[in-house]
Structure 1
Amino acid sequence: MTKHLVFQSDFGTSDGAVSAMYGVAKTVDNDLDLYDVTHDIPQYNIWEASYRLYQTICYWPEGSVFVSVVDPGVGSDRLSIVVRTKDNRFIVTPDNGTITHIEDSVGIEEARVIDEKVNRLARSYESYTFHGRDVYAYTGARLAANVISFEEIGPKIDVDQLVKLSTPEVKVDGGIIEGTIDILDIRFGNLWTNIHKDYFQEASIDYGDTLEITILDDTRQVYKNVMSYGKSFADTQVGEPLLYINSLENIGVALNQGSFAKAYHIKTGEKWKIIVRKAPKIVYS
């Protein structure tokens, strides 16, 4: 098995929390290669933790171990788990919905509950608020370093019993496509939707078409305009909006060399809806 151990959390890097997890991992095996997805997940945002794994995990070598700690229920009776995906990667995480997007996109082959009598950092049993260090980093490092096998994590749990978040489905009605704004391409302010490119192909929407876009915050309209569907940001003028296919092959909304999210105060989540329809052609008499 590879010795890649990959961390993500909502801890940030302004204190010693992430460094402590690294230290635990290196104490297990100093030859472990440690990496990060991100430690800038918004606090307590399990949805974004789930999505960032989906964005990342399939590009890592088989056998890679991911430790994901966004854990507002730390110290409660929520379970601590390790899952093995159907493409043979591992995720160490609280059972709070973090595996939602991976289960939907890749599939979970098997899941086990961490047996803390065996897989917990020594002398940490009176600490109930830093399972990222005491349980997840420790267990993930032991798994990545082949100190323990997957079967030695703890008892098996039915995959169907794992906690999953709600994932809204795309709706299609008479050429109108309705989806949700799942997440932001944070650095650039692009909107990433749950509308896969296949929906555009089925609706015979081609590059260069002009589309009418409506964005709703629940039932309140916050944006409505027409924009083009392009292959890249260069297919429109600087400052102009466009639709494109993002790196996960879903439809994105961008402002060329600007932040669409900031310009129009767009956020993400189940209640943020996007409606796409072909713009009516203007006929000049």
Structure 2
Amino acid sequence: MMKKALVLQSDFGISDGAVSAMHGVANSVEHELKIFDLTHDIPPYDIWEASYRLWQTITYWTEGTVFVSVVDPGVGSTRRSIAVETASGQYIITPDNGTLTHIERTEGIVAIREIDESINRLPKSGESYTFHGRDIYAYTGARLASGIINFEGIGPEVDVENIVKLPVKEAQIVDSKVEGMIDILDVRFGNIWTNVSRKLFKKLGIAYGGNIEVEIQHDGRSIYQNMMTFGRSFADTHKGEPLVYINSLDNMAVAINQGSFAKAYGIRTGSNWVITFRKTDK
């Protein structure tokens, strides 16, 4: 069987040996296996961001690629360890804790297997129950990617509807306004990315260079409300000015030119962070 790529994601960071240990386990399964890192800078325990980063990345990898995502605040508990096959032919190995929320909504999941830890567990890992990323996920992912086991060899089948999903607020038009949620932060630059698609936003009839009112609420309380420009790029505003633009995933985003919008206003992510775009004549 042809070897597939193995792509690792976690909230471990790279300040210690945890990620290297996962690489080592995968390499010991198959020395010629190609192993890549998606990111290991997911904020600790942030399942929502893990879910988003998978969705942001997965479609750019070839069919059959195996992803291992380990953001696992429930490690050692009764939460399940699963592997899924997506509608686009990718595989993801992860805790069943909501990490698959975006993938289930956008790509679709066609099959799920619960990991049989009596078979798919690093030999001699003993009674350790706190590093499943190394002992179960990296090990099983490497075995699947290298063709030592097939998908059915992961473990027993699970109903595709029977997975944990995080709450999501779907973007919609309400009273001539487009309303959605803040899906994720463009971490390095502090821009905020929404789940409002370009197609939905365009129904407001706002041309490039036009003014738009933006409001952000958290748990129903207004955090930010201001006018800004709808621009093609940051060059359409002066330094320090806010703008609305279309991001690399074809969704609407908000930024401060050469500044961090998220840091300036204390913005975070999730279904309780609601953003509204309203056309204005001002």
TM over 0.5: yes
CA deviations over 1:63-97 (Å, ceiling 9, x no partner): 11100000111111111111011111110001111
Correspondence for 2:60: 59
Q: Percent identity?
A: 61
Correspondence for 2:71: 70
Contact 1:200-1:206 at 8 Å conserved across structures: no
Stretches (4+) displaced over 4 A: none
Correspondence for 1:234: 235
C-alpha displacement of 1:2: 4.3
* Matched residue SS, 1:152: helix
CA deviations over 1:114-133 (Å, ceiling 9, x no partner): 11111110112411111100
Contact 2:196-2:251 at 8 Å conserved across structures: yes
Cα distance between partner residues in 2 of 1:45 and 1:7: 16
CA deviations over 1:185-207 (Å, ceiling 9, x no partner): 00000000111111112222222
Paired residue type of 2:173:
V
Cα distance between partner residues in 2 of 1:209 and 1:138: 53
RMSD over aligned CA atoms reads 1.1
Cα distance between partner residues in 2 of 1:173 and 1:162: 30
Correspondence for 1:205: 206
Cα distance between partner residues in 2 of 1:92 and 1:203: 40
Contact 2:3-2:33 at 8 Å conserved across structures: no
C-alpha displacement of 1:251: 0.5
Q: Which range is displaced more, 231-240 or 50-59?
A: 231-240
Correspondence for 1:100: 101
CA deviations over 1:149-192 (Å, ceiling 9, x no partner): 11111111111001111111123222111211111000000000
Cα distance between partner residues in 1 of 2:248 and 2:134: 32
- Long gaps (5+) in structure 2: none
Paired residue type of 1:265:
G
Correspondence for 1:175: 176
Q: TM-score, normalised by structure 2?
A: 0.97
Q: TM-score, normalised by structure 1?
A: 0.96
Contact 2:109-2:160 at 8 Å conserved across structures: yes
Correspondence for 1:3: 4
Cα distance between partner residues in 2 of 1:125 and 1:199: 52
Correspondence for 1:275: 276
Size of the aligned set, in residue pairs, is 281
Contact 1:2-1:63 at 8 Å conserved across structures: no
